[in-house]
Amino acid sequence: MRVSTRSRPTARPRTCAACDRTCCMSPTLYYSPGSCSLAPHIVLEEIGLPYALSLASTSDGTTQSPAHLRLNPKGRVPVLVTGASVLTEAPAILLHLAISNPTTNLLPNTADGLVRSIEWFNWLSGTVHAVAIRQIWRPASFSRDPSHHNDIIAVGKTNLEAAFALIEARMSGCTWAVGTCYTTVDPYLLVVFRWGNRVGFNMRKQYTAWTQHALRVLERPAVERALEQEGISVWE
Ligand SMILES: N[C@@H](CCC(=O)N[C@@H](CS)C(=O)NCC(=O)O)C(=O)O
């Protein structure tokens, strides 16, 4: 499915990696509802320039289809295609969008702020997503033996609780994740907050400072639009 969310601008034609034809230079985000691609989707809405969404569902196997693997041999979303450029990895896409749209102020304006963003991104995409969340939702990635899967899921939940305790401590007394302004780390944290609810944690009760942060992020019209376009809620 290809959803054009805005009218396309007039731009210099190039050969496009998304459709293999000559087309304009608006970016296309390959996404799956509620996955980590939600963060770049929110940021594209924040930026407000034309872009397209292309559905590559993680639940029906589309991310492992030959067409998607040609685009991203890692078999994952998000993928951001801009003309001939194909960019993968949520943190790289988020930084790319913030750097290439400086007037949106989505990038911290100090060297320390930038380093702190990378600290968040590395830990959230590595320890939290690629280990704890994957242990819970994809235990078969860790063992071929189904009799091990319940134990892997249980370890994943313990890992996730430890990570969430750190996030709660970091967010206590903080309005935003980095410095004093909203940056691309904040919608990424919202994605992980939503996953907490879906894993079955009582996020409102257990993580009150993080919940206040999530509510602040949810106040942003760009966030509301992205959630509506993906047909999802943060709470379920
Ligand atoms: N390190 C990658 C991880 C991307 C990732 O695991 N994406 C998931 C959705 S949240 C996915 O595409 N899963 C499909 C699959 O495992 O088949 C990133 O940060 O972008």
Q: What's the confidence (pLDDT) of residue 90?
A: 98
Residue ranges of the chain that CATH labels 1.20.1050.10? 111-220
Q: What's the confidence (pLDDT) of residue 24?
A: 58
Of 20-29, 33-42, 88-97, 208-217, which gets the smallest average pLDDT?
20-29
Residues of the chain with pLDDT > 90: what percent? Answer: 89
Query: Is the per-residue pLDDT at 6 higher than 90?
Result: no
Q: Please list every protein residue whose CB sits less than 6 Å from any atom of ligand 1.
A: 32, 35-36, 58, 63-64, 75-78, 89-90, 125, 130
- In angstroms, the CA 19 to CA 27 distance is 12
Cα 101 to averaged position of ligand 1 atoms, centre (Å) = 25
On average, the pLDDT of the chain sits at 92
Q: What's the confidence (pLDDT) of residue 180?
A: 93
Whole-number Cα distances in Å, 15 to 69, 200, 221:
19, 45, 33
What contacts 75, CB < 8 A, 6 or more positions away?
63, 64, 68, 69
Cα 34 to averaged position of ligand 1 atoms, centre (Å) = 11
Residue ranges of the chain that CATH labels 3.40.30.10? 2-104
Confidence label for 23 from pLDDT (cuts 50, 70 and 90)? low
* Minimal-distance CA residue to ligand 1 atom 20: 89
Whole-number Cα distances in Å, 233 to 38, 44, 188, 209:
11, 18, 15, 19
Task: Read off the pLDDT of residues 168-183 as tens digits, 9 standing for 90 and up.
Answer: 999 999 999 999 999 9
Q: Is 60 helix (H, G, I), strand (E, B) or coil?
A: coil
Query: Is the per-residue pLDDT at 137 higher than 80?
Result: yes
Q: What is 2-104's CATH number?
A: 3.40.30.10
Structure-token pair, residue 31: 């996404």
Average pLDDT (144-173) is 98
Q: What is 111-220's CATH number?
A: 1.20.1050.10
Q: Is 134 helix (H, G, I), strand (E, B) or coil?
A: helix
Confidence label for 25 from pLDDT (cuts 50, 70 and 90)? confident
User: Which atom of ligand 1 is nearest to 141's Cα?
Assistant: 16
Of 14-18, 23-27, 148-152, 218-222, which gets the smallest average pLDDT?
14-18
Average pLDDT (85-108) is 97
Cα 10 to averaged position of ligand 1 atoms, centre (Å) = 32
Average pLDDT (184-191) is 98
Q: What's the confidence (pLDDT) of residue 20?
A: 56
Query: Is the per-residue pLDDT at 32 higher than 60?
Result: yes
Neighbouring-strand partners of residue 87: 80
Of 3-7, 70-74, 132-136, which gets the smallest average pLDDT?
3-7
> Which alpha helices (DSSP H) does 101-148 contain, by range?
111-123, 134-137
Query: Is the per-residue pLDDT at 201 higher than 80?
Result: yes
Whether pTM > 0.85 for this model: the answer is yes
Average pLDDT (141-168) is 98
Structure-token pair, residue 50: 């034309």
Query: Is the per-residue pLDDT at 5 higher than 50?
Result: no
User: Which atom of ligand 1 is nearest to 88's Cα?
Assistant: 20
Query: Is the per-residue pLDDT at 12 higher than 60?
Result: no
